[in-house]
Amino acid sequence: MFDDDFDDEDWGPLEETLRRYDDVKKGISSGVMDEEEFERVVEYYFQNSNEEQALLACEIARTYYPFSTSILLLRAEILTQAQKYGQALKALDEMEQFDNNNLDAVLLRSDILLSQFKYDQAALLLEQRSAEFHGKEKIEVLLELSDVYDESEEFDAVFDTLKRVIKIDRRNEEALQKICFWAEFTGRLEESVAIHTQLSDDDPYNALAWFNLGAAYQGLKLYEKCIDAYEYCVVIDEKFEFAYRNMADAYMRLKWYTKALEVLEKHIEIAKPEDVIFEAMGFCWEKQKDFARARQFYRQASQLSPQDDAIFYKIGETYAREKQWEKAVKSYSVALHLDKENASYCMAIGNCLMEMDVKSEALVCYLNAVRLKPGNKTTWVALIRGLYITGYYDEVITQLDVAREHCGEKGDFYYYHAAALFETGKAKEALLQLEKGLKLAPTKIKVFTDLNPEFLLRSAVADAISKHKKNK
């Protein structure tokens, strides 16, 4: 109810009103002030954080206008802001003796109950009073009720209340925007499909209904249907940004990257540049193995979001896929500089350094990854593989013992253990480890054979693998 617009243009008449009010307060006769003038005085004091004077102005106003519902409502609002809820409710009780069907009073009473964490009472009040209102006023009550159910975590009731709003006004923007979220949150996507199919049938030019239908299909992973719905949405409103975003996401999930790029390019035409859009375009080009173009868009994303380490990591990935190891290291290093606690970045740098034959530095990177994520099998595998490739077979065995302490027994560990033991001439022990690996993780035998394909030339190894296949 309060008006923030006390600008310079209004100051002249407001100054005169305040002067007249001051005379009234002092008992100096200067003519009768009308209700609206008193309201302006109350609002002025309240907006200037002078609660005491605002309440005093209410009391003086009531001596002239004892049945003024607007003054009583202002008093209730001031007391509510001051968290004097009991006094505020008394003011509302008094006001309702003169006006029992005032929307602002109902909403304020609900706010007070919410502030007191009396969710059930607030919901009951709004449910009961909603029957007394019609049209836009009823919608306001129901939207307030949906917020109460949200606060009390009765999420299905939020969805149901928004349905009631849409039944009254099928183009209510707030309800349509909210129900899209709550359909997914409550898992009522199929119901949302039914609601918005009916809406779009009844009102085929309702862009939000088509969008919500698309979002519901998307949540159900029916991507082709969701794309059709978004297509209708953007035909009706060609500047509906989120329809283009979601449509592009659906195309990407279908791996139709060319189509996704077309939609993203349209988004760029109608909206401000955003890092997520450029990043998505980079992803599409990367999936099509056009790494140079992918980098172009990733770099545009990084310019808009220079602190986003993940983008620099993605740039590094494109270089790595082209085997441009030095450039990959530079990009990964930027990512690591932005997020020094990221083990994946350490491993990525280590992998590049191994390819560049800078093995000692690579091992340092793997050690850092293990330090950062000691409970992660992947970091241990990277370190152990690096040690194996570098020829530190005894250290492989030592680190495997430590890895098992942190991660437990893993099939990969048996294969690396077997390989290291074969390399150190301990064939019998190696076969025992190999057999354990075949028993625990037979599908990962390639881990072992990739380390040294010549292992397969050993008859004992070939027999163990063959025996396992027969038993299987």
* Rounded (10°) CA dihedral 384, 388, 392, 393: 90
Is 90 exceeded by the pLDDT of residue 138? yes
In whole angstroms, what is the distance from residue 146 CA to residue 161 CA? Answer: 6
d(CA 247, CA 258): 13
Predicted local confidence at residue 467, as pLDDT: 85
Least confident span in 31-45, 376-390, 409-423: 31-45
Q: Which residues neighbour 391 within 8 Å (Cβ) at sequence distance 6 or greater?
A: none
Residue spans of the domains in the chain: they are 409-472
d(CA 369, CA 379): 6
pLDDT at 90 over 80: yes
* Greater model confidence, 47 or 174: 174
Q: Which amino acid is at 182?
A: W
Q: Report how far apart, in Å, the C-alpha atoms of 138 and of each of 106, 128, 158 are.
A: 11, 11, 16
Cβ pair 150, 134 in contact under 8 A: no
DSSP single-letter state for residue 457: G
Nearest 5°: phi and psi at 356? -85, 0
- Which tokens hold the place of 310? 């993940």
Question: pLDDT above 70 covers what percent of the chain?
Answer: 94
- pLDDT of amino acid 75: 85
Q: How confident is the model at residue 10 (pLDDT cuts 50, 70, 90)?
A: very low
Task: Give residue 9's pLDDT.
Answer: 45
pLDDT band at 331 (very low <50, low <70, confident <90, very high): very high
Q: Is the pLDDT of residue 311 over 70?
A: yes
Span between the terminal Cα atoms of the chain, in Å: 77
Q: Which of 71-80, 302-311, 395-404 has the lowest mean pLDDT?
A: 71-80
Total-model pTM: 0.82
CB within 8 A of 169, min separation 6: which ones?
136, 139, 175
pLDDT digits (tens, 9 = 90+) for 275-287: 999 999 999 999 9
| CA dist 368 → 314, 327, 333, 338 (Å) | 21, 21, 13, 16
Q: What is the mean pLDDT of the chain?
A: 91
Q: Per-residue confidence at 66, pLDDT binned at 50, 70, 90?
A: confident
Q: Which range, 95-104, 178-187, 433-442, has the best average confidence (pLDDT)? A: 178-187
